[in-house]
Chains A and B, each alone.
Chain A
Amino acid sequence: MIYYYHCYRGAHLSSVAAALHLKILEPTAGVDDILRLEYFDVLQNRDMGVPVLAGYCQGNPVCFVGLGRGSKIFARFADSLTAKMNVSLEYKSVDCLECINLLTRIGGFISRFKRLKPMGRYLAARGVHKNLDKIYALVLHARGS
């Protein structure tokens, strides 16, 4: 089983979801713990579509990826393609964009500018922290536990 967490840029929500899945991050983590994550606010627009293998959970690869506006379309496309081509591939695509809030949006936008990066990162982390319960619920649902 391949776990594919995705959001707009793959920089915030999905990277945190993958960290929660791999227990690198606890659901009780604070803003500083989120900021310390290796891949938090790292992926850029040019990286969209390229998954990052965050680690393995019981031998299953856990990835996160940015899909731009294609977060919803991706799941339908991958399912449709595997069905039409008779491909046997076990994967779970998890759309983390449903956990986005205004703070993460603003922080994510600001962090693209070099001089404002620290402020953007902090705001995005605050936003993600606010919805950490929701992201964790997604992870639990994906893990089936």
Chain B
Amino acid sequence: MTAAAVHAGLLARDKTPSRLELVSLPYFDAQKAGDHGFLQYMGKGNDGSLIYSVGFETASAPVIKAAKNLFSLGKAEIGKVTYVETRLVINKWMVLGGISSRLLGLTFIGRPLVTWGTQLAYRQIVSLVEETEAKLKAEKRRKEQKGQ
């Protein structure tokens, strides 16, 4: 969700956001188990692409694969969708905070922990977003070159 906010320009990339900035973001530490799987619109990227965040718990790989297979089986034209796995940048404080806040309902312990964990991982989150943007740009350039 923080990665999507960075990509959509809701957070500055050059400085770590404050606790208040993080908790003011839409959907930050607000999801319940029943919300996982729903796409949450965060905004538009520099190139006009639509940015969404979505929670998959630990099942991102099979769920994404099954959805892609469903669309190809139904010959549905879904357009270009890029999935970015953000679990790689999650640290133990975010996991602990998430469990305390969302699963156990102990928001007063969980939210500060998850916010602190997010601040610690912020550089990595920004790097992940920038890598994704670079990949998308390179893909676009390749397509344009092919088209010429």
Contact = CB atoms under 8 A, between A and B. Distances in A.
A87 B77 CA distance: 7
Interface in B16-74: 36-39, 41, 50, 52, 54-67, 69-71, 73-74
A49 B63 contact: yes
Given A81-B78, A87-B78, A70 B62 contact: yes
B73 A67 contact: no
Contacts, number: 102
- Which applies to chain A's interface (DSSP): helix, strand, loop or mixed? mixed
Interface residues of A, number: 33
Contacts of B64: 49
B74 A76 contact: no
B120 to A, nearest CB: 27
A102 interface: no
A30 interface: no
B76 interface: yes
Contacts of B66: 4, 6, 49-51, 65, 67, 70, 74
Interface of B: 36-39, 41, 50, 52, 54-67, 69-71, 73-74, 76-79, 81
Given A49-B69, A67-B62, 20 more contacts: A2-B70, A2-B74, A49-B62, A49-B63, A49-B64, A50-B65, A50-B69, A51-B66, A68-B62, A70-B62, A70-B63, A73-B36, A74-B37, A74-B59, A77-B56, A80-B37, A81-B78, A82-B76, A85-B81, A90-B74
12 contacts: A48-B61, A48-B62, A48-B65, A49-B62, A49-B69, A51-B66, A51-B73, A61-B73, A68-B62, A77-B37, A89-B70, A91-B70
